[in-house]
């Protein structure tokens, strides 16, 4: 295990070094972009141009409205700047000199950005050729080091992210060390576009978003509802087997509840405005389920003999995400978590954490999401966004690290990523395109039980404070569904497929036989349909493939004579002929086993 930890640490260091190098290239390319734009449109006003996870962007205020047609002209100018091999030169200025410079250049956004820099920090710049930019760096030595880049898309962005400020034009791009890496990334991006859950979700009738309902509020359509129900049934079965009790809580709560928990104000920026019910009575749309579950625990006197108490809810919560950050199902304002909270004694903590980790790993394995890393998300000792006794934090963090070690889970500790009330084990999952998503989470919490004064009566007949574990293997159904759609490209495994089997008679003479098979499938609890239209069999197969029906039973004259079906599987073609009973039993067995 120690060798595995060292190997993952080595790889982690190498990845960080590669990302640092890529970040320098992309940051430098953002400056090359700004240089090119100013050459073509000298009156452009500039804001910022940072590197991002997938590339870079730069924000401009310009009377000319950019369109994708401008990219060719801008990229041509960028190539000239790269060929000029301009040096990135570092310099410093006093605050007065910096302001004087940008006043002369008539760059108001840069002037305001100078005011963001603390008085005791240096004001630094980088120059390449004629372009001079307020910047802390770092950069590559010369523009010639920016060898492979591509402008990608346009977006509107409010200055400083505030919708009351001017709306700027943002140009996104990406850059890599060489053209081979760039082309590989562009190919992957093209494949990702084909798998886009928003596109597939619309085509397959899985979910929809309606402006009449509101931004970021998902409407699950019948086919999507089937997939969600199957996921929920899987999780419900695990919960019952592991001793969880189902609970249900309202969608709003008194603001006093969240003041006590600390979600208000610690979580204030992600919450909807308060709702005024009556004078001196305010409510919040529920941002988290945990304060409600705490009240269920507190509603009865608890004995150590009852613990652990495990309360589970598929609970819908609401987060006020900025409109520019919303994205299909993966970034929403209303989400349903497979949430649970465990109240236990100190002696039970490690066993309960182990079980929640085991459940999370089983969930990922069951869906073929086995490429993941585990992050131990810790507090920043110097941060001010955490509540509670540092000694409790130390104990909780040490426990999560120890459990991960003892379970042989390779992990990496990251400071500053903890929840405000406790550290976490976060499961960072890669999909089939190598994109990483934070899904399952296990959180260890000594602070909310203290804030609410929770107790249980111990063997000594005295009151003791329980420890609380928060866990959500899926994270949220919305994000998990969006990722599953893209991971499987809409081709769900048999147990999840909205339509598991479609019966396809070759001619109308086999329609009665097809309907008989349909009845047998329904009796076996298999989701099914039949195409009894007058289309030719090739068209019926094509329609079933487009609908991503998992399995097709094709029946013609021979199949009727032999009491059989010809089996086809979506994307895999002909699978041979089998007797009806055998074919149905095989399908039912795979569904029960949740085969992939």
Same-domain check for residues 252 and 138: no
Tokens in use for 355? Answer: 């079980």
Same-domain check for residues 164 and 270: no
Query: Which residues are annotated as catalytic?
Result: 290, 319, 337, 339, 341, 424, 470
The pLDDT tens digits of the residues spanning 60-75 come to 999 999 999 999 999 9
Q: Are 513 and 530 in contact (CB under 8 A)?
A: no
User: Which of 195, 221, 254 corresponds to the end of one domain?
Assistant: 195
Q: Are 526 and 588 in contact (CB under 8 A)?
A: yes
Tokens in use for 117? Answer: 């820099």
Q: Assign residue 342 the CATH number of its domain.
A: 3.30.930.10
What is the rounded distance in angstroms from the CA atom of residue 294 to the CA atom of residue 258?
A: 11
- Which of 49-53, 156-160, 167-171 is most confident? 167-171
Q: Which residue's entry shows tokens 């999560």? A: 400
User: Which of 195, 214, 238 corresponds to the end of one domain?
Assistant: 195
Same-domain check for residues 189 and 263: no
> Which of the four pLDDT bands, split at 50, 70 and 90, describes residue 5?
very low
β-strand partners of 254: 283
Q: Flag whether 495 is in a domain.
A: no
- The contacts of residue 528 (CB under 8 Å, 6+ apart) are 499, 500, 501, 502, 503, 518, 521, 522
Q: What confidence score (pLDDT) does residue 4 get?
A: 43
In the chain, the percentage of residues whose pLDDT exceeds 70 is 97
In this predicted structure, the answer to whether residue 16 has a pLDDT above a threshold of 50 is no
Strand 551-555 relative to strand 564-569, pairing: antiparallel
Q: Are 570 and 551 in contact (CB under 8 A)?
A: yes
Same-domain check for residues 47 and 183: yes
User: Which of 449, 467, 488 corresponds to the end of one domain?
Assistant: 488
Q: Flag whether 93 is in a domain.
A: yes
Longest pairwise C-alpha distance within the chain: 93
Q: What confidence score (pLDDT) does residue 590 get?
A: 96
What is the rounded distance in angstroms from the CA atom of residue 171 to the CA atom of residue 166?
A: 16
Q: What is the pTM of this model?
A: 0.82
The pLDDT tens digits of the residues spanning 74-115 come to 999 999 999 999 999 999 999 999 999 999 999 999 999 999
Same-domain check for residues 365 and 322: yes
DSSP 8-state assignment for residue 414: E
Same-domain check for residues 345 and 421: yes
β-strand partners of 378: 415
Q: Flag whether 493 is in a domain.
A: no
Same-domain check for residues 434 and 517: no
Domain total in the chain = 3
> Which of the four pLDDT bands, split at 50, 70 and 90, describes residue 461?
very high
Same-domain check for residues 319 and 182: no
Task: Identify the domain containing residue 452 by its residue range.
Answer: 199-488
In this predicted structure, the answer to whether residue 493 has a pLDDT above a threshold of 60 is yes
Question: In this structure, is the dihedral angle defined by the CA atoms of residues 101, 103, 106 and 107, taken in order, positive or negative?
Answer: positive
Same-domain check for residues 207 and 350: yes
Q: Flag whether 389 is in a domain.
A: yes
CA-nearest of 401, 396, 393, 296 to 339 is 296
Q: Assign residue 14 the CATH number of its domain.
A: 3.30.980.10
> Which of the four pLDDT bands, split at 50, 70 and 90, describes residue 469?
very high
Q: Assign residue 536 the CATH number of its domain.
A: 3.40.50.800
Same-domain check for residues 187 and 210: no
Q: Flag whether 462 is in a domain.
A: yes
Q: Flag whether 496 is in a domain.
A: no
Q: Flag whether 83 is in a domain.
A: yes
Q: Give the SS3 label for residue 248.
A: coil
In this predicted structure, the answer to whether residue 6 has a pLDDT above a threshold of 60 is no
Is the backbone of residue 416 left (phi > 0), alpha (psi -120 to 50) or beta? left
Same-domain check for residues 412 and 505: no
Same-domain check for residues 357 and 505: no
Q: Flag whether 352 is in a domain.
A: yes
Q: What confidence score (pLDDT) does residue 374 get?
A: 94
The gap from C-alpha 168 to its chain's centroid, in whole angstroms, comes to 27
Indicate the range of 187-201, 237-251, 488-502 predicted with least confidence.
Answer: 187-201
Mean pLDDT value across residues 372-377: 93
The pLDDT tens digits of the residues spanning 506-561 come to 999 999 999 999 999 999 999 999 999 999 999 999 999 999 999 999 999 999 99
């Amino acid at each position: 295990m120690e060798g595995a930890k060292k190997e993952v640490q080595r790889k982690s260091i190498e990845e960080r070094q590669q990302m640092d190098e890529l970040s320098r290239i992309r940051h430098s390319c953002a400056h090359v972009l700004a240089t090119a734009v100013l050459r073509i449109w000298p009156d452009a006003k500039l804001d910022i141009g940072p590197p991002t996870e997938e590339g870079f962007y730069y924000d401009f205020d310009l009377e000319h409205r950019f369109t994708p047609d401008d990219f060719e002209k801008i990229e041509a100018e960028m190539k000239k700047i790269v060929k000029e091999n301009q040096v990135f030169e570092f310099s410093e200025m006093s605050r007065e000199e910096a302001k004087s410079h940008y006043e002369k250049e008539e760059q108001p956004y840069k002037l305001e950005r100078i005011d963001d820099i603390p008085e005791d920090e240096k004001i630094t710049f980088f120059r390449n050729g004629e372009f001079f930019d307020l910047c802390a760096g770092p950069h590559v030595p010369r523009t010639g080091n920016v060898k492979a880049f591509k402008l990608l898309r346009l977006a509107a962005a409010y200055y400083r992210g505030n919708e009351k400020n001017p709306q700027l034009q943002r140009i996104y791009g990406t850059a890599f060390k060489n053209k081979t890496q760039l082309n590989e990334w562009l190919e992957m991006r093209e494949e990702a576009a084909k798998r886009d859950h928003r596109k597939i979700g619309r085509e397959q009738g899985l979910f929809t978003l309606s402006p009449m309902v509101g931004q970021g509020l998902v409407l699950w359509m019948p086919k999507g509802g089937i997939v969600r129900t199957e996921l929920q049934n899987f999780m419900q079965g695990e919960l019952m087997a592991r001793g969880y009790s189902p609970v249900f809580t309202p969608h709003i709560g008194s603001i006093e509840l969240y003041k006590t928990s600390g979600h208000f104000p610690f979580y204030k920026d992600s919450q909807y405005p308060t709702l005024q019910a009556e004078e001196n009575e305010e409510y919040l749309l529920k941002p988290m389920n945990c304060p409600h579950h705490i009240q269920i625990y507190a509603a009865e006197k608890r004995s150590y003999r009852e613990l652990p108490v495990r309360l589970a809810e598929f609970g819908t919560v609401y987060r006020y995400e900025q409109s520019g950050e919303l994205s299909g199902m993966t970034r929403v304002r209303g989400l349903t978590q497979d949430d649970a909270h465990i109240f236990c004694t100190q002696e039970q903590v490690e066993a309960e954490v182990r079980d929640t980790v085991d459940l999370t790993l089983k969930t990922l394995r069951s869906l073929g999401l086995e490429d993941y890393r585990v992050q131990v998300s810790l507090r920043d000792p110097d941060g001010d966004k955490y509540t509670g006794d540092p000694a409790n934090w130390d104990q909780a963090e040490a426990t999560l690290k120890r459990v991960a070690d003892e379970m042989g889970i390779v992990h990496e500790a990251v400071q500053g990523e903890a929840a405000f009330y406790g550290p976490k084990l976060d499961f960072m999952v890669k999909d089939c395109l190598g994109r990483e998503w934070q899904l399952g989470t296990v959180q260890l919490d000594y602070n909310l039980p203290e804030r609410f004064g929770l107790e249980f009566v111990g063997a000594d007949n005295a009151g003791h404070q329980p420890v609380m574990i928060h866990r959500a293997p899926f994270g949220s159904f919305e994000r998990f569904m969006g990722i599953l759609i893209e991971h499987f490209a809409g081709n769900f495994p048999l147990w999840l497929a909205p339509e598991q089997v479609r019966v396809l008679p070759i001619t109308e003479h086999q329609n009665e036989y097809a309907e008989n098979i349909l009845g047998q499938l329904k009796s076996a609890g298999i989701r099914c349909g039949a195409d009894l239209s007058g289309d030719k069999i090739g068209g019926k197969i094509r329609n079933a493939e487009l609908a991503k029906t998992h399995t097709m039973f094709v029946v013609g004259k021979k199949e009727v004579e032999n009491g059989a079906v010809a089996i086809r599987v979506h994307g895999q073609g002909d699978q041979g002929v089998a007797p009806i009973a055998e074919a149905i039993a095989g399908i039912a067995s795979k569904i029960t086993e949740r085969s992939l």
